[in-house]
Amino acid sequence: MTQRGIGLALVATLFAGAASAQEDIASFYRGKNVQMIVGSSAGGGYDLYGRLVARAIGKHIPGNPTVIVSNMTGAGSIVATQHIAIAAPKDGTVMGAVFPGAIMEPLIGDKGKVKYDARKLSFIGSANNELYVCIIRADASQKTFEDFLKGNVLIGASAAGGSTRDFPLLLNSVFNANFKIVSGYPGSTEILLAIEKGEVQGTCGVGWSTISVQKSQWLKDNFIRIVAQEGMRSEPQLDKAGVQLAYSYAKTKEQQQVMQVHYEPLNFGRPFIAAPEVPADRLEALRTAFMKSMADPDLKAEAERLKLDVSPISGAEMTKIVNRIYDLPQSAIDAARAAIGSK
């Protein structure tokens, strides 16, 4: 056989192998149900993203399984993450849409209640780079971020590990703020309802995408005031309104590092995960299907209609970010843990 013939035969063999592997994946998923577990209450921002992806990803997974969504609330998505990591099937038929805080909990949270290793989770990807905000009712006396930090503002929050609980604690620690934190709400939907009813005055650590979509009327009616942006990047619309990044108020390198530990995970603002033991070929199929979903015209049109930001990162890139955070100096990690009262 000529050298050219050998090359063509090798290419044909590779294509045949790839086609066979693809058919094996399709054969596994064909006729099956895939569960999408959303680690927050129905109607919130994470629920919107979870259901958005669930409606699209099935047609991009080989074998076209049916994707069924369920909600599993508790401890800022830690309950859902723990279920996926430990109890749920490990065969690639269960995915999760969880809070970034659930991925960070083993590093900076209460290690006593976490039974999973976040670095071993299978990361499918993230639907966007998130930006969080601090909001307060417009009828509150505090008008600026400085006022917000100094006042005894009643803050609605979820459980430990959730951004709406940890981010106010972070500001309390770094800037000597004096928030009164009312924790225990299941998710952002219930916190926003509490703000509307006057049970609390505001909240921090809630997604800008959630506010801009769910509560756009609040913004039009000036019912709330956005007092700070929380993250490592800013939103041009909020920049124009004069809303500052909380990070920009950090005066020392130590303050910056502590805030970075908490804010850099927002680079994977809407993470999707699976169990650590998912077979490599199925994980790759889920990752590929996820990125195809993000580019799906139907998903993009629905996201635009819902005013949801879609700026995805791949599962491989998300893995790199998680490892980078976990590899930060121990001194920064210890200070970040202390900032939110972790033991």
Round the average pLDDT of the chain to a whole number and report it.
Answer: 91
154, containing H or E segment: strand 154-156
Contact 110, 189 (CB under 8 A): no
The total number of structural domains in the chain stands at 2
This prediction has a pTM of: 0.75
Shared domain for 171 and 49, answered yes or no, is no
Q: Mean per-residue pLDDT for 240-266?
A: 92
The proportion of the chain whose per-residue pLDDT surpasses 70, expressed as a percent, equals 93
Shared domain for 70 and 119, answered yes or no, is yes
Question: Closest by alpha carbon to 226, among 248, 203, 249?
Answer: 203
pLDDT, position 4? 66
The token pair at 327 is 């590899």
pLDDT, position 16? 47
Shared domain for 208 and 289, answered yes or no, is no
Residue 253 has pLDDT above 50, yes or no: yes
Residue 9 has pLDDT above 60, yes or no: no
Shared domain for 238 and 290, answered yes or no, is no
pLDDT band, very low/low/confident/very high, at 12 (cuts 50, 70, 90): very low
Domain of residue 190: give its range. 132-265
Shared domain for 249 and 141, answered yes or no, is yes
Contact 299, 138 (CB under 8 A): no
pLDDT, position 3? 64
pLDDT, position 307? 83
pLDDT band, very low/low/confident/very high, at 129 (cuts 50, 70, 90): confident
Question: Closest by alpha carbon to 204, among 334, 314, 127, 101?
Answer: 101
* Domain at 217, CATH number: 3.40.190.10
CB burial readout 43-66, b (16+ within 10 A) else e: bbbbbbbbbbbbbbbbebbbbebe
pLDDT band, very low/low/confident/very high, at 13 (cuts 50, 70, 90): very low
pLDDT, position 14? 44
Q: Mean per-residue pLDDT for 102-119?
A: 89
Contact 202, 157 (CB under 8 A): no
Residue 30 is classified by DSSP as: T
Residue 8 has pLDDT above 70, yes or no: no
* Domain at 100, CATH number: 3.40.190.150
What are the tens digits of pLDDT across the range 229-247? 999 889 999 999 999 999 9
Q: Mean per-residue pLDDT for 314-333?
A: 93
The token pair at 54 is 């669930």
